[in-house]
Structures are given as structure tokens and as C-alpha cells.
Amino acid sequence: MTVTAATTRNDYVATSGQRVFAYTFTALLESDIKVLKNGTALALGESNDYTLSVVGTYGGNVTLTSDAVTGDKIAIYLDMPLSRTTNYQNSGDFLALDVNGDFNKLWLAIQQGTTDLIRAIRRPVADAGTINMELPIASSRASQLLGFDATGAVEVLPYTASGVEILTVDEFTGTGSQTAFTLTDAPAVATLLQISIDGLMQQVSSYSLSGLIVTFSEAPPLNSKIEVRKFIRNTDVVGDITGVVAGTGLSGGGTTGNVTLAIDSTVATLTGSQTLTNKTLTSPVLNTGLSGSAFLDEDNFASNSATKVASQQSIKAYVDANGFSITVTNVTANGTTAAKDNLYYIANAGVTITLPSSPTAGDVVYIAHGNFTNTVIGRGGSNVMGAASDLTVDVANMGLTLAYTTAARGWALI
């Protein structure tokens, strides 16, 4: 018998009721042929899952004992034990049958190894032979991601590297007709998904991702096990945090409470109450609401002369920019009622100035302070920063601009 050049594996997608599937390679024994159905090994024999025909020559058939259903994946491959059972002697007949049998087995073993090789990840012939494709030792690659460096050589990366923040998994069971499945969370693009059906990795082209919905081009088989691994990049948008998962860079929290987020980025948006120590803010926007009787402490607000001068000049800059014509009034005693678009300079300590009583949206009052203590800005019947309270200010050399917004918000500091 000669050995015909051939791959030692055949793959099929079954049609409804199909039983017979051809194999196109040579096998010496029935036990050398293995059959998978949707990734699960089948048992040989008429009383089991399949039978074989024409074993010992090139090609033959695998016949299932029960009908396949549409979409069943059938794999037939050579799995011959690599052994040498013939031992040549110095005397006796030297028969061609013995020699041919040994040589046939050698060539079949080479074909079997070649089939395994072409299914493995390997470097193409166009690559330089100097590129290292050897895996790191087990202790170095344990719990790591396989990747490639700038030269194309193998490297391993931690799950928390710059490209990946969280690895999560969803599992589903195929119905035979369902093509769309809803994920619990999802990355920005489908290439950050790894999907297997009954243990077989799926091509990226066989599914698409839209939001949380992953859609297959063909419905996974009935009762098939679908596993979707999702790599969530640290540049993706993370929604409301209602709990903390180990390894996500979060601590604290739960269904309620504060959450501390470890940020490895140059840009961060913080909301709520924050304490910043030794941090550099680029173009910060500070939005501070004052309710009740609010006190602005000079040491915290303006600890250097440059900041004080800037605050004094802020009102003038705003007025000049908008082309207003205003009247400047020195306030030395209680009882002054402000008018919109005018500037009031607080000359003495402990005085009260009252905001206009019937403001409309867009009305603005400017107040500058000299050397004073406990100046009270009366609300004039409207809210101040959303609260029905006067505003008490205890800062020297400061300028305030108050604009009337809505009935609920009232006068707001701008």
C-alpha cells in the first residue's frame, strides 16, 4: 500500500438528518480514527455512536448511528499511537510486507504531525529567524495574557496592563435558533471578545457586537455551551458603580457608600466631596454650592496677594467684557438695598446689604470687599444658592458676582 499525500483531518457542518461523513486520509486501524461532534468525542461501534468503512486503505466513511441536526460540527481526524512494534531479525525472511508496513506508519505519523502543526500558532516563513517565539517559563506566564512586543516576539502581559482593566465572562446555552445574546457588560469593539461554543473558539467574523448585544451569523446548536470572555479596556466608559469586584482597581463601596478608584491616567473627572493632596489640576472647574449662612475663610480662599488681586479684578473684567454702565456705591452702614448691574464696595465691617426684592432671570449684582468682618448679604426674599438663607462672608479683598437664575436656585455665585 502507498501513502497518498493528504491532511489527516476533515471538518463538516451537518445538515438535518445527515449520518455519513467521508474521511480523506489513510488509517491502519479503526482505533486510529477519532470523531468529535460539537467538540465532544464519540464512541466507535454499532451499539455506540459511529462505525467506519474501508479502514486500511486511502479514505472511507464515518457513519453515525443517529441523525445529526442542522449545524452540528463533525470533526474526523487521525490519532495514531506513535510506536514501533516490528523488530527485524538477522535471520529469516525479509518480507516487503513488513517493510512497507513500517514505512507506511512512518509516513502516516509525519502526516499526522503535519496536520497538528498547521493547526497551531506558528511563525510564517516571511518572518526573520531571530524573532523569539518561545513561551516564558510557567511561573512567569501564570495568570498572564499572551501578547507580542514591538518586534513580534512573544511576551506576556498582566490583566491590569494599560490595554486591559477587567476580564469578565458570560455563559449561555444555545437554543438552535437564537442568534442574539445580551451580555452583562461589553467592551467598545468586538475584537475584545473571545467566544467559544462547546470549547471551540469562534472567528471574530462569525459574530458582531452592538452595545451589550452580541449577534452570531448562525444560531449556535441546540444545548451548545457558549462562553463569552470580555476584556474591558481602561479607556472604555464605566457606568454607575454599585459594587466592588476584586482586581478592578476599586476599593470600598458596595450597594451604597463611597468608592475609591485607582486611576492610571492623566485626566480624571471627580464629582462629590473630594480631598486632593499633592495633586496638579489642569484647567480645573470648581463648582461650589453654599447653603445656609456660609463663611468663606480667608486662609483657605486667598492665601497670597496674587489671588487677592485677581479676585478684586474679576468684577471689573466681567463688567468691561459685557459693556455695562454701572454705579459704584460705598456701603458703610446697614440698610443698603442693592440694584442690579451696580457695584457695591463694602468699606466697613459688620454691615448688611440686601439683594433686590423682585429680581428677574439674568439680573446681576457686583459686590467688592475691603477690610471688613462678617458682612451679611441679605437674600431679599429669594433663595441664595438654592437655600432660603442669607449669605455671610468673612474674607477681605474679595469680589463677588451674584446672578439671579431661577426661583428654586435663586441668586448664584458666578
Arithmetic mean of pLDDT, 217-229: 94
Instruction: Provide the percentage of residues in the chain whose pLDDT is more than 90.
Output: 27
pLDDT score of 146? 84
Residue entry with cell 464519540: 42
pLDDT in tens, 19-31: 999 999 888 889 9
Better-scored residue on pLDDT, 148 or 274: 148
pLDDT in tens, 252-299: 555 555 556 555 444 455 555 666 666 665 555 544 333 333 333 334
CA distance 64 to 58: 20
pLDDT in tens, 165-210: 567 899 999 999 999 999 998 887 888 899 999 989 999 999 999 9
Query: How does the average pLDDT of the chain come out, rounded?
Result: 77
pLDDT score of 191? 84
Better-scored residue on pLDDT, 213 or 94: 213
pLDDT in tens, 36-89: 999 899 999 989 999 999 888 888 999 999 999 999 999 999 888 877 766 767
Arithmetic mean of pLDDT, 210-221: 94
Q: Say if pTM beats, i.e. exceeds, 0.85.
A: no
Better-scored residue on pLDDT, 394 or 383: 383
Q: Domains in the chain, ordered, with CATH?
A: 9-81+96-118 (no CATH), 166-232 (no CATH), 298-413 (2.60.120.640)
Biggest CA pair distance of the chain: 132
pLDDT score of 340? 85
Arithmetic mean of pLDDT, 124-135: 81
Strand order in the sheet with 375-378: 336-337, 352-354, 375-378, 391-393
